[in-house]
Structure 1
Amino acid sequence: MMSENKLYTVSIYTENNTGLLNRISAIFQRRHINIESINSSISEIENVSKWTIVVKLAEDQMKKIIGQIEKQVEVIKAYYHTEEETIYQESCLFKIKSDLQFEERQIQNIIKESNARIVTVNKEFFVLEKSGRRSEIELLHRELSAFGILQFTRSGRIAVTKTPMEITKMLEAFQH
Structure 2
Amino acid sequence: MNTDKQLFTVSIYTENNIGLLNRISAIFQRRHINIESLNTSPSEIEGVSRFTIVVNITEEHVKKIIGQIEKQVEVIKAYYHNDEDTIYQESCIFKMKSDLLFEERQIQNIIKDSNARIVTVNKEFFVIEKSGRKEEVDLIYKELKSFGILQFTRSGRISVSKQPMEISQMLAAFN
What TM-score results when the alignment is normalised by the length of structure 2? 0.97
After superposition, residues 3-14 of structure 1 pair within 5 angstroms as: 3-14=3-14
Question: What residue number does 1:21 align with?
Answer: 21
Q: How far 1:60 sits from its partner (Å)?
A: 0.6
Q: Return the letter of the residue paired with 2:9.
A: T
Hey, what does 1:158 align to over in structure 2? Answer: 158
Please give the TM-score of this superposition, normalised by the length of structure 1.
Answer: 0.96
Say whether the 8 Å CA contact 2:10–2:53 is kept in structure 1. Answer: yes
Q: 1:68-87 counterparts in 2 under 5 A?
A: 68-87=68-87
Amino acid at match of 1:173: A
Q: CA separation in 2, counterparts of 1:146 and 1:36? A: 25
Match of 1:112 in 2: 112
What residue identity is the alignment partner of 1:92?
C
Task: Using the TM superposition, give the Cα deviation of residue 2 of structure 1 relative to its aligned residue in structure 2, in angstroms.
Answer: 7.0
Q: Distance in 1 between matches of 2:113 and 2:144?
A: 12
Cα 1:2–1:136 change in 2 (3 A) is closer
2:61 maps to what in 1?
61
Is 1:102 the counterpart of 2:132? The answer is no
Question: How far off its partner does 1:165 sit?
Answer: 1.3
**Partner residue of 2:138?**
138
Residues 28-51 of structure 1, C-alpha deviations (whole Å, 9 max, x = no match): 000000000000001111100011
RMSD over aligned Cα, in angstroms?
A: 1.1
Distance in 1 separating the partners of 2:122 and 2:9: 38
Q: State whether residues 117 and 128 of structure 2, in contact with CA within 8 Å, keep that contact through their aligned partners in structure 1.
A: yes
- 2 CA distance for matches of 1:173 and 1:46? 16
Offset at 1:173?
2.9
Give every structure 1 segment of 4 or more consecutive aligned residues whose post-TM-superposition deviation is greater than 3 Å. none
CA offset at residue 99 of structure 1?
A: 1.5
Over the matched positions of the two proteins, sequence identity in percent amounts to 75
Cα distance in structure 1, aligned partners of 2:29 and 2:167: 27
Structure 2: how far apart are the matches of 1:164 and 1:14?
Answer: 17
Q: Which amino acid aligns with 1:128?
A: I
Q: Higher mean Cα deviation, 88-97 or 165-174?
A: 165-174
CA distance in 1, matches of 2:123, 2:172: 52
SS of match in other structure, 1:99 = helix
| CA offsets 1:1-35 (integer angstroms, 9 cap, x no match) | 87010100000000000000000000000000000
